[in-house]
Chain A
């Protein structure tokens, strides 16, 4: 169930989650996600809110199958653009689905190398093409003017907010259709927070955004759709309304 805050109906569904259950290999423990079903809409900011420990991050990581790396067991179906995610090549999947983490974690190396990392993995490009891709990504996140003279300097010299925008640039450089954002602003100062919120709204035109946040006011500011997760289950829409302060 979801609450439609926007007036646009009949939106296309980018990601459809059906009866998703994620558990640890330890048979005795309760599952982290328990038969979750929901939908994320294209060109929208789909927000997942809920108390800590409710499984929000795990839900995100199920979409790009990062849970596998951590040894978690997944059951159920996730459909991305009509394809079952578990039948896709994991590398291909992760190019199509970008991820931004809570801690801005640029690779040690230059700003250019950070953004270029993804494109270099997947494509063979000429120097000019690569420069274009990097410039494009940096412009999209609004960093290009700030860093264009120091592209070769270390990414570690950037401020917290700049680092996170760099990580977003790094993620969108490979042109994903879905962008997963796991509490991207929780370690940032208020000014950087709002810069990134504006960025999210701008980016939803290019990609589908799935945002996890525990900040309810942020959810109110940016969301088009909200899903409330509690104890690994999707709660009813009345709860979601109440959580956001709507009646």
Chain B
């Protein structure tokens, strides 16, 4: 008996080992970049592999191409803006939809919407990207963005040149769409579990369904926060859909809402190519540092969200 317990214990350690190996290896690979780029890595938006055809020079003990300088400020900013806009759009929508589902709609519609959410969540990222490229971007470019500029142009961030359909707006919208099923699923479940406790009492006191819904919403603050954090964790890691709709900005910070942008996950994907032709390995090392940064932020967000929610998250994520 001891033997099988031993065997299973050893096998179960594997996930633990992998986490340590993943983190450890990436940090190990990122070390040269951490030394070479220093704090500039987080304060500069310039990403320059240097002159890769020239002889590598040695700086602080590491080989780099002359003129190499790596900074991820653009990617950090892009990630921040797109995630913020995506959450700003999808969280309120999730709350409204969840309360409407829990209070106003009947069993059958609830079942249909529930399944639909599941399907929604299963659509591959690259297909959201496809839709973004062929439908969303042209529509944004020809109709939405000019309208938006006309309406909101008095705010500096919403005026200025429109380069194309891709950029902050497109990638944020796609991200919002992708994050919506997750946050709705989590918030809806908590709405249903709290509903029976409070809503009947509220209705018996003469509340309208909306008034009972407001009460319900005030009871769900923790779950809404948790759902938001988990959605954020997912949004941070979203790669393909964002990659295809963000405009692939590099070395220039966004100037307005219609500017091209880049996120950490998308940039990591797009720039890994360039590491293959870099003789010094510093590009790869810098990308590894980018990966570590992304890893830490995503894990932090998801773990805090999970802690806030308790283990309710399990079901919601699998749907």
The short answer to whether A and B are in direct contact, CB under 8 Å, is yes
Residues of A within 8 A of B (CB): 64, 66, 69, 71, 91-95, 98-99, 101, 105, 107-109, 117-118, 121-122, 167, 170-171, 174
Do B205 and A118 touch (CB < 8 A)?
Answer: yes
Do B106 and A71 touch (CB < 8 A)?
Answer: yes
Kindly identify, within residues 185 to 206 of chain B, every residue whose CB is under 8 Å from any CB belonging to chain A: 197-198, 200-206
Does B225 interact with chain A (Cβ within 8 Å)?
no
Using A66-B203, A66-B204, A117-B202 as known contacts, list a sample of 20 further A-B pairs with CB atoms less than 8 Å apart, ordered by residue number in A: A64-B204, A69-B200, A71-B107, A91-B208, A94-B204, A94-B205, A98-B205, A99-B205, A101-B200, A105-B201, A107-B198, A107-B201, A107-B219, A108-B198, A117-B205, A117-B215, A121-B206, A121-B211, A170-B205, A174-B206
Do B203 and A107 touch (CB < 8 A)?
Answer: no
30 A-B pairs (CB sep. < 8 Å): A66-B200, A66-B203, A71-B106, A71-B107, A91-B208, A92-B206, A93-B206, A94-B204, A94-B205, A95-B205, A99-B201, A101-B201, A101-B204, A105-B197, A105-B198, A105-B201, A107-B201, A107-B202, A107-B219, A108-B198, A108-B219, A109-B218, A117-B202, A117-B205, A118-B205, A118-B206, A121-B206, A121-B211, A122-B206, A167-B201
A91→B208 CA distance, assembly (Å): 7
Per-residue contact bits, chain B 128-148, to A (CB 8 Å; 1 contact, 0 not):
000000000000000000000
Per-residue contact bits, chain B 95-121, to A (CB 8 Å; 1 contact, 0 not):
000000000001100000000000000
Per-residue contact bits, chain B 242-284, to A (CB 8 Å; 1 contact, 0 not):
0000000000000000000000000000000000000000000
Do B206 and A91 touch (CB < 8 A)?
Answer: yes
A108→B202 CA distance, assembly (Å): 12
Q: How far is the CB of B54 from chain A (nearest CB, A)?
A: 67
Kindly identify, within residues 203 to 224 of chain B, every residue whose CB is under 8 Å from any CB belonging to chain A: 203-208, 211, 215, 218-219
Q: How far is the CB of A141 from chain B (nearest CB, A)?
A: 16
Q: What A residues does B200 contact at CB under 8 A?
A: 66, 69, 101
Q: What B residues does A121 contact at CB under 8 A?
A: 205-207, 211
With both beta carbons as reference points, the residue of chain A lying nearest to B221 in the complex is identified as A108
Residue from B107, B211, B215 within 8 A of A107 (CB atoms): B215
Q: What A residues does B107 contact at CB under 8 A?
A: 71
A105→B206 CA distance, assembly (Å): 16
Q: How far is the CB of A24 from chain B (nearest CB, A)?
A: 12
Do B204 and A99 touch (CB < 8 A)?
Answer: yes
Q: How far is the CB of B219 from chain A (nearest CB, A)?
A: 6
With both beta carbons as reference points, the residue of chain A lying nearest to B205 in the complex is identified as A118
Q: How far is the CB of A90 from chain B (nearest CB, A)?
A: 8
With both beta carbons as reference points, the residue of chain B lying nearest to A69 in the complex is identified as B203
Do B198 and A94 touch (CB < 8 A)?
Answer: no
Q: How far is the CB of A176 from chain B (nearest CB, A)?
A: 9
Q: What A residues does B197 contact at CB under 8 A?
A: 105
Q: What A residues does B201 contact at CB under 8 A?
A: 99, 101, 105, 107, 167, 170
A94→B197 CA distance, assembly (Å): 18
A105→B204 CA distance, assembly (Å): 12
A141→B203 CA distance, assembly (Å): 22
A92→B219 CA distance, assembly (Å): 25
With both beta carbons as reference points, the residue of chain B lying nearest to A105 in the complex is identified as B201
With both beta carbons as reference points, the residue of chain A lying nearest to B209 in the complex is identified as A69
Q: What A residues does B203 contact at CB under 8 A?
A: 66, 69, 94
